[in-house]
Amino acid sequence: MGVGEDRYESFATAVEDPYFGALLGTIDEPDGTLTANHAGLVTRTWWDTHGTGPTCAELIEAVLEVDDWDTAIPDPGRMVVQRNEQLDLLHRWLISYWSRLGTISYIPGHDDVIRPGRVVVTADAEENEPR
């Protein structure tokens, strides 16, 4: 699919940032939903093939198919370590966005596996009531 282009027109940002532009270009509609649905399908296929889900990095790689992030998101004004931090933030935002749409399920800090679909959390009121 590839990382989205910086082509959003619904609002203007106060500053231009290549990573923020890539995020907005990737989640911008209608392609944002298509990319999220693709992430869900990739996750289901991964489970069928491997018996478990992909990690965040594996899912990002499979969905966006970017070989060289420095070429995909040119940002010569930042040091390599800063570009890596921005890229990590971009990836975490995409995973969070896809989770919120319900195409994948991922609970940060629980484990590293991404599951297809939405996680539904319910609580039994009797168990949570004070005694």
pLDDT single digits (tens) 35-49: 999 999 999 999 999
Q: Which fold has domain 18-128?
A: Arc Repressor Mutant, subunit A (1.10.10)
Q: Is the confidence at residue 5, as pLDDT, over 60?
A: no
* Contact between residue 72 and residue 19 where contact means Cβ atoms under 8 Å apart: no
Tens digit of pLDDT for each residue in 75-107?
Answer: 998 999 999 999 999 999 999 999 999 999 998
| For residues 10-34, average pLDDT | 79
Q: Is the confidence at residue 131, as pLDDT, over 80?
A: no
Q: How confident is the model at residue 128 (pLDDT cuts 50, 70, 90)?
A: very low
Q: Taking the CA atoms of the chain, what radius of gyration do you get in angstroms?
A: 17
All structural domains of the chain with their residue ranges: 18-128
